[in-house]
Amino acid sequence: MGQQVVVLAGPRCLKDLTHSLNQAGLKAESLIRNGRLVCLTAPDCLAQLTDPEQITQRGPLRRTSSLIRWVTDWSWAYSNGTPPATILGYQRVVHDFVRSLTAVSMCTVHCAEAERSSLLAMLADHRRAARPARLQA
């Protein structure tokens, strides 16, 4: 199956990300269709993360894939007035879920404050870092 990058974010951030990928010459729909890019829409996906078997057996995540990056944008929670304690609870759910998977690089971003190019650069930089040393130039 290959490597997967997972992005958990609000609908607007996911739309902006896929648009940016397309502008950069990457075909977001193709990446999503072949399972290389997994977009999880917050907050709806949070309930699925409490049961790792559900999302890995019936959802877009594949246990047979190498999960190399998990990116979470919390701007959807901060922008709608969600109390900090609730956001912390959501973050714990996500961290517990990610820890239940294989070793993975995880980062949190704030899409409302990040430039599109910065987010794309962060994803590309991690992809290079995740390659075995013998393949890097």
Which has the minimum average pLDDT: 14-23, 60-69, 71-80? 60-69
Q: How many CA atoms are closer than 13 Å to the CA of 18, on its beta-carbon side?
A: 21
Q: What is the pLDDT of residues 9-64, one digit of tens each?
A: 999 999 999 999 999 999 999 999 988 899 999 998 888 888 777 777 777 777 67
Two structure tokens written together for 40: 């999880």
Euclidean distance between CA atoms 103 and 27, whole angstroms = 27
What pLDDT, on the 0 to 100 scale, is given for residue 71? 84
Q: What is the pLDDT of residues 94-126, one digit of tens each?
A: 888 887 776 565 666 666 555 656 666 655 554
What pLDDT, on the 0 to 100 scale, is given for residue 28? 93
Two structure tokens written together for 85: 């304690």
Domains of the chain: 3-135 (3.40.50)
What pLDDT, on the 0 to 100 scale, is given for residue 3? 82
SS3 59: coil
The enclosing H or E element of 19 equals helix 11-23
Q: Is the pTM of this model over 0.75?
A: no
User: Which percentage of the chain shows pLDDT scores above 90?
Assistant: 20
How many CB atoms within 10 Å of residue 120?
17
